[in-house]
Amino acid sequence: MHSIKIDPWSSENLNDYEHIFREFGLEKFPDELSKKLNHILFERNLVIAHRDFQKIMACMEVKKPFINITGIASSGRMHFGHKVDLDLFLFFKSKKAKNYFAICDLDGYCSRADAKVDSLMKAKEFAIENLSHALALGLTQKDVYLQSNKPAKYYSLAFEVSKKITENNYRAIYGDINLGKVSAVLLQMTDILHGQLNEFEGKMPSITGIGLDQDPHARLVRDLSKKSQYDFEVPSFIYFKHQSGLQEGQKMSSSQENTAIFLSDAPEIAAQKISKAFTGGRVGVEEQKKLGGQPEICKVFEFQLFHNENSKEVNEIYSTCKAGNLLCGACKQKLIKWTNDFLIKHQKKLIKAKEKAIEIVETKK
């Protein structure tokens, strides 16, 4: 049995979920919970695994506080793939969590090549863009923080945890030692842990939604929480599927314009991208009518699955497609309509949100 190395910096797609669950000791997300948690990402089995989610469940059931922590690297524009992180965050926010949404400007600058982010100011420009979207999607100023603008204790913890990571440990997870990426790792560990310091909320369970490819980070931070001089609850994680790119075999990526619909894309641009998306359609109309479509491999259907909250509509698309009664052109029109409605509504909120975001990020040099 050979070992699969999950590299958080790689952009490869992951398929062999079961294998990975076994190898890393992840638990499959329980079906009974998926049904119980009233949110499409759970109901549609897009959240596939967890570590210690029962601790969060217990808090939610008795309305005890827990920390809701996630973040977004400020190194590119925000697309619908990122929205999944936001959707999960907003779900836990609605469950009365203590909210920590990190705008990762420092991390974005330190870990990305200069060709992509050549200064902290550039990372702050991305921060403004990303924060605008986060606010427009329903976060408030109180829910968010900028990595470059925290109290001293946050940074102190970042340096303190460094002492508990050996070179071998680091290398096994991340491969090469690049000091900028070391910084990014320290900041990410601290994002997860700092809410539990007495200076913030104090010791309590925390939940973070990540992709499977981020599990090495999760294992490291869980390990650090046990080794720390502070009394930390071991952080919990849930693992969601990544929405794939609009073309076949590609990841949705900020750096590849046509793989993603960006939250700032003009509706007509989104429409163009959807028109060109890879579908599960057959070679011709006749065959499509005879055999039915293949929503399982269709990027247009996948988009509906991740984002359209109207389950009746999504189910209908699925069944009419399978039955050969929905052709790809018409189906794409449905998604174009949904996406355009969403973008128009979202982008209307974006103007005010951006003013607020600028105020929060304070671009002053």
For binding to a copy of itself (CB under 8 A), which residues are involved? 106, 109-110, 114, 118-121, 148-153, 155-156, 158-160, 162-163, 165-167, 170, 176-180, 182-183, 186-187, 198, 229, 365
Closest separation in Å from C-beta 163 to a copy of itself = 4
Give the residue with the Cβ less far from a copy of itself, 118 or 313: 118
Q: What does the DSSP assignment read for 78-138? A: -BHHHHHHHHHHHHHHTTTPEEEEEEEHHHHHHHS-TTT--SHHHHHHHHHHHHHHHHHTT
- Round to whole Å and give the CA distance between 227 and 220: 11
- Round to whole Å and give the CA distance between 288 and 269: 27
Give the residue with the Cβ less far from a copy of itself, 106 or 314: 106
Closest separation in Å from C-beta 159 to a copy of itself = 4
Closest separation in Å from C-beta 107 to a copy of itself = 8
Give the residue with the Cβ less far from a copy of itself, 97 or 123: 123
Taking the CA of residue 230 as centre, how many other CA atoms within 13 Å lie in the half-sphere pointing to its CB? 25
Give the residue with the Cβ less far from a copy of itself, 190 or 243: 190
Q: What does the DSSP assignment read for 320-356? A: HHHTT-S-HHHHHHHHHHHHHHHHHHHHHHHHHHHHH
Residue 364 neighbours by CB under 8 Å, 6+ apart: none
Closest separation in Å from C-beta 211 to a copy of itself = 24
- For residues 71 and 61, the answer to whether their CB atoms sit within 8 Å is no
Give the residue with the Cβ less far from a copy of itself, 121 or 323: 121
Give the residue with the Cβ less far from a copy of itself, 17 or 230: 230
Give the residue with the Cβ less far from a copy of itself, 51 or 150: 150
Q: What is the dihedral of CA 363, 145, 255, 273, to 10 degrees?
A: -100
Give the residue with the Cβ less far from a copy of itself, 142 or 365: 365
Give the burial class of 279: count Cβ atoms within 10 A of its Cβ; 0-12 exposed, 13-18 middle, 19 or more buried.
buried
Neighbouring C-beta atoms of residue 129, cutoff 10 Å: 21
Give the residue with the Cβ less far from a copy of itself, 194 or 332: 194
Closest separation in Å from C-beta 162 to a copy of itself = 4
DSSP letter (8 states) at residue 50: E
Closest separation in Å from C-beta 174 to a copy of itself = 11
Closest separation in Å from C-beta 114 to a copy of itself = 8
The continuous run of DSSP H or E covering 32 comes out as helix 31-36
Backbone angles phi, psi at 237, to 5 degrees: -135, 145
Closest separation in Å from C-beta 296 to a copy of itself = 42
- Round to whole Å and give the CA distance between 161 and 186: 7
Distance of CA 307 to the CA centre of its chain: 13
Closest separation in Å from C-beta 309 to a copy of itself = 38
- The tokens describing 208, both together, are 């973070």
Distance of CA 122 to the CA centre of its chain: 22
